[in-house]
Chains A and B, each alone.
Chain A
């Protein structure tokens, strides 16, 4: 079965002063791909002795009911972890946050990330710190994102929020119940085209690829479309030969799709086509003509003169002025040829 991440919605833990939050709707986290790429980049650069690295998440909350947090960007924060204690460089975090806010004033602190999936007391400690008053995300819950990228396994992304869980008062600071929240990665149109281009490097040996020109991407799209059509037609042939289970739903769906091609009068098609192709070709012609004119005018302006080298500017500039006037002419009469010298 195709699996989707399942999650359990618990009532969102409220801050100590419940008056701040009026709704207890579950929190969803939307991650933007650039933040994820930042985190992956950081995890690949971590010092070899550190098992995991952490950093801060910045983003925005949805205006109306705070039920959705969008993570826009992330930056790394230095930290060290030993068996007994953990140190997080908060000075660095504050300074980096200030720098970041200058460039993106609308983003606020929304949580933190770690590059391994385990949750231990240190996670709880850091989480409580991030949710605290003052510099934390109070009164909103801090989002904790774990991005696990181990060699050979898939990249696992999990998002949590936490609530305080009391065992004993002394251990309150480093205990937290992490509740998974549903997350999704949102791709814009711009992101999709970038990921397509980056995806071209998937199979290459050195993981690099060139940026393709328009024609090459068109070719790629056509090839993949033809490929998909081949698969569909093989399936249909299989059904006709009675080798594959027929399915009325699929058949109906295919018929619906094929019926999408509009039925237009041939004369209309021809006329529309001619008009559009004329538009396109006219603009192309114009652009190239303007380019040629400018090229000519530049050359004439800086060319040497082989006649009338005598007193200066007089004759030479009249010639240039005349040519420029002629440059103007052809722009208004499109079809005529260049009448310059």
Chain B
């Protein structure tokens, strides 16, 4: 019997029947946190062959261009839209994307308490489902045979892991099918030179847990869901159609055709239109050292996350204190009842029922841990970003230092 109690988490007075079945599961596995979920049926196990989750994503050039254009145009507000494409042997091919209609919130409404980010919630709004269906139907009339395969959103230095994101993706994976992804385009990181596009799905474990919507401690213990397992990232490949490839090859056309006559003065070099106007010439942005804005933004984001974390943990401490107090009261009441019953037994009166406490005392409900899980996942995201940034930047900084210091390998400023 001690073994049973050991495995369970918080054992509430209302007895949990499930503890016994947990014992059977954990017989061969010491650490309950690592245990698999055999009694929670995974969606993929019961789905047909067509519902296999995609393993990789292939984006057409058109999708990339339209997505970044829309996100850049709406910056710094969130921009959302939906993706169309098809599933091809486990690779989800996204051929096109369209933005969602925007609803301009009038200035007064923004001060109301109920103001919520309509763009961020757009993917799951009912009106937009009709918009999507209409758009896809129109596309079919011009010969584009594609289905809805997900949605995209813009992000700013990785701050996309929030409840809107999760709800949107959940809506897509539930309503449509498992073959939907969320595409995240990070605007600020792309402006530093490298395109940043990532594709995510919700993991099956998370989908199950979210369906029940019980993120209490025992539920988490049972499922062993960790915050790092909420999202599954899919690798992305970029694909160009033939005429797009032709077009890309001819873009730096001004300099690749013909010869330039030798310049006769410095001024003519600098003002030569084929050099000055060549926007697609070699791009040196990636070599630029631009650390302060990134660091500032990251610190701000981290502070926000830490604050959220504290709010959540305060909630939880408050709950546990309230729980403790209630249980103390219950015990006191129970003791009193027992004493009364003993007294009654002596005076030969019928004993009073002992389980009235269930009607008299209401135990506080445990707050959901979903927010703090999302928050932790967000912090993990920030930490990974910072690592990537530091790797590149410290290299560049050492290079600049080596170049500026006189007498170091090979450079001379005289």
Contacts and interface: CB of A to CB of B under 8 A. Distances in A.
Interface of A: 1-4, 32-34, 36-38, 40-47, 72-73, 76-78, 89, 92, 95-96, 99, 102-105, 149, 151, 153-155, 186-202, 206-215, 217-218, 220-222, 224-225, 228, 245, 247, 249-250, 252-253, 256, 261-264, 266, 269-270, 273, 276-277, 279-281, 283-284, 286-288, 290-291, 294-295, 297-299, 301-306, 309, 311-314, 316-317, 320-321, 324, 328, 331
Given A212-B194, A290-B306, A298-B226, A195 B251 contact: yes
A309 B238 contact: no
A249 B263 contact: yes
A256 B9 contact: no
Given A247-B262, A261-B404, 9 more contacts: A40-B62, A92-B138, A103-B99, A214-B189, A217-B286, A247-B263, A266-B406, A317-B323, A324-B317
Contacts of B241: 40-41, 44, 207
8 contacts: A155-B246, A198-B61, A201-B245, A284-B387, A287-B298, A287-B387, A301-B217, A312-B323
Contacts of A200: 238
B142 interface: yes
Given A78-B142, A99-B131, A313-B323, A217 B193 contact: yes
Nearest 8 CB-CB pairs, A to B?
A317-B320, A102-B101, A149-B243, A217-B194, A291-B383, A197-B195, A34-B65, A76-B142
A309 B245 contact: no
Contacts of B394: 277, 280-281
Given A40-B244, A192-B279, A312-B10, A302 B58 contact: no
A190 B194 CA distance: 9
A213 B397 contact: no
B65 A194 contact: yes
B212 interface: no
A237 B64 CA distance: 43
A95 B265 CA distance: 57
Nearest to B385: A287
B257 A3 contact: yes
A192 B283 contact: yes
Interface stretch (B201-209, B345-353, B370-378): B370-378
A291 B81 CA distance: 31
B175 interface: no
B407 to A, nearest CB: 9
Interface size, B (range)? 35 or more
Contacts of A43: 243
Contacts of B134: 99
Contacts of B8: 304, 309
Given A105-B102, A281-B390, A36 B247 contact: yes
Contacts of A279: 291-292, 295
B279 A187 contact: yes
Contacts, number: 351
A321 B302 contact: no
A195 B60 CA distance: 12
Contact of B413 (A252, A256, A261): A261
Contacts of A249: 262-266, 268-269
Contacts of B15: none
B379 interface: yes
A154 B33 CA distance: 60
B249 interface: yes
Contacts of B191: 189-190, 193
A262 B400 CA distance: 11
B239 A208 contact: yes
B298 A262 contact: no
Given A103-B98, A313-B324, A191 B237 contact: no
B357 interface: no
B102 to A, nearest CB: 7
A198 B266 contact: no
Contacts of B221: 302, 304
Nearest to B382: A287
B306 to A, nearest CB: 6
Interface in B308-358: 309-310, 313, 316-317, 320-321, 323-324, 327
A199 B282 CA distance: 12
A19 B405 CA distance: 67
A280 B239 contact: no
A211 B197 contact: yes
Contact of B247 (A155, A225, A269, A311): A155
Contacts of A270: 401, 405
B392 A214 contact: yes
A288 B269 contact: no
A45 B144 contact: yes
Nearest to A96: B138
Nearest to A321: B317
B232 interface: no
